[in-house]
Amino acid sequence: MISNKKLRVLIDEIKSHIDLRIDALDVEVNTLNSKLDDIYVRFLGVEKNTVEVGKQLKTIERKVVNSSEQLEKIESKMSDFSPINYGLDDIKAEINSLHIKVDDVFERVSKSEEISDLQNTRMDELEQKSVLIDAKITEVCNSNFRNSQNILDAKILQAQSLIANQKDFATAGFKVFSQWDDDGLIQYLIKTIDISNKIFIEFGVEDYTESNTRFLLMNNNWNGLVFDGSKEYVDYIKKDDIYWKHNLKAECAFITAENINELISKNGIKGEIGLLHIDIDGVDYWVWKAIDVVTPDIVIMEFNSVLGKDRAITVPYKSDFCRLNAHHSGIYAGASLRAMCMLAEEKGYSFIGVNSAANNAYFVKKSKLGDLKALSVDEGYKESQFRESRNKDGSLTFASGEDRLKLIKGLPIINVETGKEEKI
């Protein structure tokens, strides 16, 4: 017969063994809780994780059941020995607690599965809506394209009617693709002047959807060469239907006084051409001054009316000039109208006026002037009304009139009459 002392030692060993197994189960359950928290938050992969959790839970449940069965056997065999009962209630309470935890884990897994099902259902609904939206977008785009084409056709017909009734340069302006009224001014000049060679060159065209030569290309079927510093824009032009329908070349290049002649000549253009338009928002004066590979009948030069009409001034030349880098306002750029007119005189051109926005000046070769009236700076100058100045964070300030000049007061400029640097 086993003595009470030995029996107590045996029971203590059994209890210790059960405690260790229960602790291990508790650790496993805690680990499982952590994994399930991650599943609940992340959702993605929940089904796969749920299967794995289910397997782990079944294993844990088997272990708990086995432990319960062993404990019940011990309790049955040792029921006659009151000394051992003192610890069995605690063990049973811990096992019951584990059962509660396992039930809670199963409940959370079920919720995760429900969430996953709802998520999948929602995804299916969204995919169906996406298909419907794509179809609607296609329908709208096709409709807009047809409407846009109809509007464009109507604008071209209207423009052709206006061309037939133009009487003088000052009132000839209208727009089809130009930003302002330059389309009409150009049309008036090409029907008034004996054009040597129906070729145009335009700088700074961006994607060419809004430009001063697009209507000339489409309506009059001129040949053209356009430049922009953005490869993205140039690629867009080359994918436009206009690129295969007309004899147009587009090249990506950052225009400088040093490279301009080579850029033009390597594209097979030299000598007399119909029109040159320079709009590079910076060292326009210096680029025109450098050009000697072509002699256009018509030259359109962007000028900066903010610099006024009295001084013949331009920003100093820098091959990498960028107006927003030069000054945050974006209006420290270009040259005054007087500076442009002086350069035109040197090159054999007469000034005949500006567009409605007062940002493009028009010059015609003196030998082609005919009945066109040459103007002085005082006669032809207009002050621009658009308000494009910006503050340091890039937001428009809408400064107008003399307030624009105050923004760049004190910055260096070159007086082209004296060749000396001065201040605005």
Q: Which strand (E) or helix (H) includes residue 183?
A: helix 182-192
Mind listing the pLDDT tens digit for each residue in 165-191? 999 999 999 999 999 999 999 999 999
Mind listing the pLDDT tens digit for each residue in 356-365? 999 999 999 9
Which pTM does this prediction carry? 0.67
pLDDT confidence tier of residue 121, bands split at 50, 70 and 90: confident
Task: Transcribe 99-123 into DSSP letters.
Answer: HHHHHHHHHHHHHHHHHHHHHHHHH
Lowest mean pLDDT among 53-57, 250-254, 302-306, 339-343: 53-57
| First CA to last CA distance, the chain | 117
Comparing C-alpha atoms, which of 38, 91, 48, 101 is closest to residue 67? Answer: 91
pLDDT confidence tier of residue 3, bands split at 50, 70 and 90: low
Is 70 exceeded by the pLDDT of residue 320?
Answer: yes
Q: Which residues pair with 228 in a beta bridge?
A: 252
Answer for the pair 319, 259: CB distance below 8 angstroms, yes or no: no
Comparing C-alpha atoms, which of 317, 239, 331, 246 is closest to residue 284? Answer: 317
Is 16 or 405 the better-scoring residue by pLDDT?
405
Is 70 exceeded by the pLDDT of residue 15?
Answer: no
Q: Which strand (E) or helix (H) includes residue 249?
A: strand 248-252
pLDDT at 73: 57
Q: Which strand (E) or helix (H) includes residue 225?
A: strand 223-228
Distance CA 223, CA 213 (A): 10
Is 90 exceeded by the pLDDT of residue 75?
Answer: no
pLDDT at 78: 47
pLDDT confidence tier of residue 156, bands split at 50, 70 and 90: confident
pLDDT confidence tier of residue 158, bands split at 50, 70 and 90: confident
Is 80 exceeded by the pLDDT of residue 10?
Answer: no
pLDDT at 240: 95
Is 344 or 196 the better-scoring residue by pLDDT?
344
Is 92 or 229 the better-scoring residue by pLDDT?
229
pLDDT at 234: 97
Distance CA 43, CA 404 (A): 57
pLDDT at 146: 56
Domains of the chain, CATH where assigned: 4-133 (1.20.58), 168-423 (3.40.50.150)
Is 60 exceeded by the pLDDT of residue 370?
Answer: yes
Q: What is the mean pLDDT of residues 307-336?
A: 95
Q: Which strand (E) or helix (H) includes residue 18?
A: helix 4-42
Across all residues in the chain, what is the average pLDDT? Answer: 83
pLDDT at 221: 96
Q: What is the mean pLDDT of residues 224-236?
A: 96
Is 80 exceeded by the pLDDT of residue 279?
Answer: yes
Lowest mean pLDDT among 150-159, 283-292, 293-302: 150-159
pLDDT at 157: 78
Lowest mean pLDDT among 2-6, 82-86, 332-336, 378-382: 82-86
pLDDT at 253: 95
Mind listing the pLDDT tens digit for each residue in 385-419? 999 999 999 999 999 999 999 999 999 999 999 99
pLDDT at 152: 73
pLDDT at 415: 97
pLDDT at 81: 40
pLDDT at 80: 44
Q: What is the mean pLDDT of residues 157-162?
A: 83
pLDDT confidence tier of residue 84, bands split at 50, 70 and 90: very low
Q: Is 16 helix (H, G, I), strand (E, B) or coil?
A: helix
